[in-house]
Amino acid sequence: MTRARRLGRRLLGPSFDHLLFLRPRQWPILTAQLAVGLLAAPALRDAIFSRRALPEPAAATAVRPDVLLWAWLAWVLCLNGGTLAFNSAHDRDVDDIAYLRAPPPPPPRLAVFALLLMAAGLLPALLVSPRFAAVTAACVLLSVAYSHPATRWKGVPGLDLAVNAVGYGAGTTLAGLLAGRAAAGRPDAWPDGPGWLLTGGFALLFGSFYPMTQLYQIDADRTRGDRTLATAVGAPRSLELALLLAVGAAALLLAGADPRTVPRLILGLTLAMWGLAAAAWRQRTPRLTSRQHETRMYAALSLWALIDAAVLLGYYFPPWTP
């Protein structure tokens, strides 16, 4: 048991394990992706640039930080944390899972706790905007269908990938775009064309990432009887699919990118790095252990962060002409 876990149980008692299964290690990652949508929202960008241009205090009310807080609570803490805890309650993992190594036995009534947390997230979601709340509610339903034994979409090869691409990839980006508009005090509305390209691009990019999250869990999933995408087609073909989806993601993200040369070039390079890393992973798959697959999954997250930064560079890069 790590020092952090010992301290957590000393402070919170048995309830600490409920917090542990919310997998706080993932919160910064999902916060970053939500921030991409927020900062890419045209309304929030306009408000930020207006804030720079206007004297205080006129610009001080341009962006509502309370909306940003409600969006984070609803999406990252309640929805995402509840989703992961609900999944763990039904999987009862004993091996490493994403963002939680050596998990303890799931505490009693973890599934009920997770459901209540996801439902509670709808309240701050409504404080953001009706459309943001609708996207949040749709993802709550996807989360339940994905993990609950009655439906168990997680165990249907291909459907497991689709749920994650829609929920994590598209949903998080779309939620950020909607929250950005709300934080800027603009009327609730769906994104414009570039916003949908961004949403679709990150849906496919998460579709590319999802098989990578399964490779180190193949043995555990097979033992449990889950027919995930990776257990159905194997590691090599999973990574081939990841490469195919990465090409689609690159096409959409570059189509919606800033037309200026420098930002688009940087975005293209980061997407190429993602593809090359997946290709190298595919080449070495037969020789990799489960722990090495897990290490490469976390390395892919670093490349994802570079892609996020490159996308935002296109929105905030100062005017440049050759």
| pLDDT surpasses 80 at 210 | yes
Minimum mean pLDDT among 37-41, 70-74, 98-102: which range? 98-102
Query: Residue 297's closest CA among 101, 142, 76?
Result: 101
Query: Residue 65's closest CA among 133, 121, 128, 123?
Result: 128
- The residue type of 198 is L
Query: Residue 178's closest CA among 123, 238, 131?
Result: 131
CA atoms within 13 A on the CB side of 108: 1
246 or 99: which carries more pLDDT confidence? 246
What pLDDT digit, counting tens, does each position of 282-309 carry? Answer: 999 989 998 999 999 999 999 999 999 9
Q: In the 8-state DSSP scheme, what is residue 64? A: -
Residue 52 to residues 46, 65, 119, 162, Cα–Cα distance (Å): 10, 16, 38, 41
- Written as six digits, the tokens of 120 are 């509670």
- Written as six digits, the tokens of 174 are 């779309």
Q: Which pLDDT belongs to residue 322?
A: 39
227: left (phi over 0), alpha (psi -120 to 50) or beta: beta
Average pLDDT over residues 85-108: 78
- The residue type of 263 is P
| pLDDT surpasses 90 at 261 | no
- The residue type of 138 is A
Q: In the 8-state DSSP scheme, what is residue 166? A: I
Q: What is the CA 45 to chain-centroid distance, rounded?
A: 22
| pLDDT surpasses 90 at 93 | no
Average pLDDT over residues 131-137: 98
Minimum mean pLDDT among 100-109, 118-127, 295-304: which range? 100-109
Q: What pTM was estimated for this model as a whole?
A: 0.89
- Residue that is written with structure tokens 């921030």 in the block: 35
| pLDDT surpasses 70 at 51 | no
Query: Residue 67's closest CA among 185, 155, 164?
Result: 185
Q: Which pLDDT belongs to residue 100?
A: 73
| pLDDT surpasses 50 at 113 | yes
Instruction: List domains and CATH numbers for the chain.
Output: 11-191 (no CATH), 194-322 (1.20.120.1780)
158: left (phi over 0), alpha (psi -120 to 50) or beta: left
| pLDDT surpasses 80 at 179 | yes
Q: What is the CA 211 to chain-centroid distance, rounded?
A: 14
101 backbone dihedrals φ, ψ, rounded to 5°: -95, 145
- Residue that is written with structure tokens 């020092």 in the block: 3
